[in-house]
Amino acid sequence: MTIYAVKECFLTLQGEGMQSGSRAVFLRFAGCNLWSGREQDRADAQCNFCDTHFVGTDGEGGGKFRSAGELAEHVERLWGEGNERRLVVITGGEPMLQLDEALVECLHERGFRVAVETNGTLPATAGIDWICVSPKAGTEVVQRSGDELKLVWPQQGIDPVELEGWAFNHFLIQPMDCERGDEARAAAIKLAMDRPQWRLSLQTHKVVGLA
């Protein structure tokens, strides 16, 4: 029996990327393959600039779900009335550790478009409607195609010019949320100005005070 561990799940507006501003159920799976989520492990983790809490199942709308149908029902309940433009954004942690075809199917049956935000180190599950890959320096990205590539910037060890050859429809550059945020914003703006293939992406949910 598949058990899905969900850190949190709630109705909001998608904050980042090309679908920013869209009503969506946001489903954050627990766990990541690039960091344990414990502060004492951060310095040695493959990804060490994470700004999300993905450990455990104790967040708003989180919990353990015993089947794809049960989790899809939870998502549907959070969406509420109305069948139009149903969207679920599945993230983590790393969503590909848990998202399987059965869950994608159950969400489709309920009329949801399924979007994911992944670090790209695991192949995307079949049937996903919108794939956003956010590569992390020093990792082997196997998912090199999709809808949007969202590069958190700056990251030493990643060359954006190389990424331009990957098969994505949109290339987004997003300033890193860190202590040196001003420098990160300036670096992201510079890249978008120098290389027009890239668009600036902002974390609009933080600007407007949404989770």
C-alpha distance from residue 89 to each of 54, 69, 148, 166, 180 (Å) = 15, 17, 13, 22, 28
* 3-state helix, strand and coil shares in percent for the chain, rounded to the nearest 5: 25, 25, 50
Output the smallest distance, CB 44 to ligand SF4, in A.
Answer: 12
Pick the binder of ligand SF4 from 6, 9, 32, 71 (CB under 6 A).
32
Binding-residue pattern over the window 111 to 130 for ligand SF4, x denoting contact by CB under 6 A: --------x-----------
Q: CA–CA separation, 135 vs 209, rounded Å?
A: 26
Task: Tell me: does residue 47 bind ligand SF4 (CB under 6 A).
Answer: yes
Active site residues: 26, 32, 47, 50-52, 117, 205
Residues 6+ apart with CB under 8 A from 76: 110, 112
Q: CA–CA separation, 173 vs 152, rounded Å?
A: 6
**Closer to ligand SF4 at the Cβ: 36 or 67?**
36
Output the smallest distance, CB 118 to ligand SF4, in A.
Answer: 8
Output the smallest distance, CB 174 to ligand SF4, in A.
Answer: 12
**Closer to ligand SF4 at the Cβ: 13 or 50?**
50
Please tell me the total number of residues recorded for the chain in this structure: 211
Q: For binding to ligand SF4 (CB under 6 A), which residues are involved?
A: 32, 34-35, 47, 50, 52, 54, 92-94, 119, 136
